[in-house]
Amino acid sequence: MDNVQARLAYAERIAVFYEKAGGIPRMAGRIMGWLLVCDPPQQNATELGQVLSASKGSISTMTRWLLHIGLINKTTIPGERRDYFEIREGTWADLLAQQFQAVGAFRELANQGLALLNDPEGHEGARLREMHDLYAFFERELPLLIEKWRNERKE
């Protein structure tokens, strides 16, 4: 691996982006970014700590969290005691699907709001009806899109 510095800078960029977009901890983003461009694609905790200048504790906590939400895999090599981490295949579709869950929650919140109004059908409820209809629409359509992509992918 020649351009380690460039790849590190890339990991950092990914981290900043994820932090802003989804509230993902900076260090978790760095790990994700590095695992996207490192060679080989599997890295152990010590390697991650060294290249990212992070403490063992931080790596441990963040890898566990990334495992928990399903973004990475933990694998072991026969005869070795160390754990190796890698980007999980299918991560991105799952991640999007998970983010799309929020849409359903917002549709439900709109419902709860309408229940508070004296006249949900009237002009007073227009705000929440618009919110409800939009989110209901996407709650219906987004899973179909993901499905469509998974089918296209298989071919």
Our CB check for its own copies shows the closer of 55 and 126 to be: 126
| Interface with DNA in residues 8-27 (CB under 7 A) | 23, 25-27
Pick one of its own copies, DNA, none as the site partner of residue 63 (Cβ within 5 to 8 A by kind).
DNA
Going along 65-134, which residue ranges are E strands? 72-76, 83-87
Alpha-carbon gap, residue 142 to 14, rounded angstroms: 25
Q: Which of residues 32-91 bind DNA (CB under 7 A)?
A: 44-46, 53-58, 60-64, 81-83
Smallest distance from DNA to CB 88, Å: 17
Distances in Å between the Cα of 100 and the Cα atoms of 71, 75, 97, 138 are: 16, 29, 5, 9
Q: What is the DSSP string of 3-72?
A: -HHHHHHHHHHHHHHHHHHH---HHHHHHHHHHHH-SSS-EEHHHHHHHHT--HHHHHHHHHHHHHTTSE
If the CB atoms of residues 19 and 94 are measured against DNA, the closer one turns out to be 19
Q: Which of the stretches 45-53, 60-68, 74-82, 123-131 binds its own copies when contact is defined by CB under 8 A?
A: 123-131
Quote the CA–CA distance of 87 and 32 in Å, as a whole number: 7
- The amino acid that residue 122 corresponds to is G
Please tell me whether residue 92 binds its own copies under the rule CB under 8 A. yes
Minimum gap (Å) between residue 89 Cβ and DNA:
21
- Give the interface with its own copies as residue ranges (CB under 8 A): 2-3, 6-7, 10, 13-14, 17, 20-21, 23, 35-37, 39, 41, 87, 89-93, 96, 102, 105-106, 109, 112-113, 116-118, 124, 127-128, 130-131, 133-135, 137-138, 141-142, 145, 148-149, 152-153
